Structure 1
């Protein structure tokens, strides 16, 4: 049966680790270069700025693209000082990360049917996800693919405090492996109180899917959209997705630029698969509401 809703969860591209986080790791006796062998540390003097020709949108601006043209939304902005501080902790996309997102966007375009689908884009407020989203928006605009934007809303979670807390807690317990891998694979961290546990993250992603399903009902009332399927692209991170899908798919890593696709048909039955994997690895997960 043809899916009524498709939700593509895409991980942002490979990112430099901000020097603030790297310095804290070194202070606690961790070696960031050995734990993150495939990553880079952003230099302290690097403000994370990129030439406008690469991104195509100025920092702090959200945009939507439709067939009738281009419209900027300037109501949601980040102060440059705040943006610089975020980059110092979070880092920015590497050249490898930029290429990963170019490839992922092409895969997305190849999967889409713009005449039969309405595309909506959501992005995590973290700098790396926003940079990824800007690249994708620019690519879709160049290829004439419209993006519906129902509303502009950013809810910041203090993710920097969250990750620093995990790092410090792992150090207190003498954990010398990757602190975030230790946290992700653990089962008793919910009781710590000050750290958001995997169940809380899983519930958060499930609530997001429920929001998407409400959008479906809204769009069904629009005459020009009622006959189309809804495709949602969610730019996110590896930990939320791993927390959410590990009940269905046995995977331990979610690579930069990878896409996990959730398809929901008109009966409410859902199927889950990593895009590009063997089709036989697609998993039917039954009624989506039961899964959530």
Structure 2
């Protein structure tokens, strides 16, 4: 609403992807606004010349716009905080100074640092590069501390390079990478990041696959999140990037879907 008047009524997807005015675009999320005039209009786009810089922009539009019309173009940028983080990295590289940053902001630590130390009650659990901390955590604590992760408990069925985890009676073991120290019969936890999981209506060929029902859906602009309940009880979170303009969802609540991932995508971690 704008001063007591409804500016737009639509789904969250439409509000974010297709705001109907400069006000709505500015109100929902971060956005840069460029003012200009229409130089040429096509079937589903317009070419605009910016009035301040003379730059040329091609943009989608949802209404009839004639040549010469004064318009505003909404471009969603990265967050200002991320820009500041990269500026800090540039300062460090230019000066050659070692920075020690103590933070509870996981994103900040992963963005700014060349090495990260994860601590628990004053004890260092793992020291590594941000990539290794995220992709190869050495414990359930570190995996759960940095970013989102699905955790499924069970026992080791076999170790042969990768580890196989028995997690539910009568179900195919989950396969994932593992470090040294795990043996058949040990309690362990399977860890898989939401963005590494594929979601589909048809049964995939991947060995790591499970079937479940969609409980919740979250549209976050740049990605969509699905919470899928498995028959055995666990709820698995899956994230799908919205790489193109989203007109409608492929899945909805209560849909039966398949989740799958490659063997290297998951980790089997000690308790």
User: The TM-score by the shorter chain falls in which range?
Assistant: under 0.3
Higher-Rg member (1/2): 2
User: Relative contact order (C-alpha < 8 Å, sep 6+): which is higher?
Assistant: 1
What is the TM-score of this pair, normalised by structure 2? 0.23
What is the TM-score of this pair, normalised by structure 1? 0.22
- Greater strand proportion: 2
